[in-house]
Amino acid sequence: MELENILIENKSGILLITINTPKNLNCLDLKTLNELEKVIHFVYESETVSGAIITGAGDKSFVAGADINEFKTVNIDNSFEFSLNGQRVLSLIENCKKPFIAAVNGYALGGGCELAMACHLRVLSKNAQVGLPEVKLGIIPGYGGTYRFTNLIGRSKALEYMLTGKLMNSKDALQFGFANHVTTATNLINFCLELLSSVLSNSKVSIEMIIRSVNSYQLLDFTHIEAQNFTNCFKSGDVVEGIDAFLNKRKPDFTK
């Protein structure tokens, strides 16, 4: 398996997956997303892997979001498929019978936050900040964020964070139910290894059935609803304005 943006290491049956592009804060660009899909399929198929941990290289960022420059190529014609592609990859994690833990070190924003939420458990370092700030770009979360965030922390808090675009610190993430645990940055991976080892000491059949039962909320077709609403954002000029403002570090002038 050829990988350029991701590192993998088998630690006694637990695959440590590291998004390894720290210069751009481990952003979830399309190339990285495609590589991640390959790694997830490897987890599905491997007889020597029982579970996985996803983290980001360095101490600043888990995954700081999508590559905003790539949004320049997204428009009304391809935005629906763009959203469904990301949802499809992250749903592979959520629906995997082998448990995934997100080891969130630093920023987990936009697509990075959505990646963390697709994992079955989340452990945050004390310096972690998570959020879905897409509203500031004139779009919405498109990789499953609207429904997973609501499912994790409740409708009111999810709406507040998504409508304001503000970030959540590790203390609030633990209090509101986003994080399962918070630990130090230096202990993050070891903590996750111990937690996942504890999970994997149980019946594999039970683990699979619990994951399948918890994920039964997906029987409603949230994916297409979110993808369509993501596409609806491209019917206005707010996306172009929001992306240009972000890249040029100015305040956006959205449609009134």
**Cα–Cα nearest to 228, from 83, 128, 42, 33:** 83
Query: Vertex 56, ends 117 and 229: CA angle to 5°?
Result: 35
Q: How many residues are there in the chain?
A: 256
Catalytic residue among 114, 208, 226, 241: 114
What DSSP state is assigned to residue 138?
T
Q: Are strands 51-56 and 14-19 parallel, antiparallel or unpaired?
A: parallel
DSSP H helical segments within 95-169, as ranges?
111-118, 145-153, 155-164
Catalytic annotation present for 70: no
Query: Is 2 noted as a catalytic residue in this protein?
Result: no
79, 234 contact by CB (below 8 A)? yes
Give 245's contacts (C-beta < 8 A, 6+ positions apart).
251, 252, 253
Contact between 57 and 22 (Cβ < 8 Å)? yes
Instruction: With residue 6 as reference, give the H or E element that holds it.
Output: strand 6-11
Q: Assess contact for 223 and 87: CB atoms under 8 A.
A: yes
> Up-side HSE of residue 190: CA atoms within 13 Å toward CB?
5
∠ CA 202-119-134, nearest 5°, is 165
Exactly one of 4, 134, 194, 241 is catalytic; name it.
Answer: 134
Backbone angles phi, psi at 53, to 5 degrees: -125, 130
- Positions annotated as catalytic residues are 114, 134
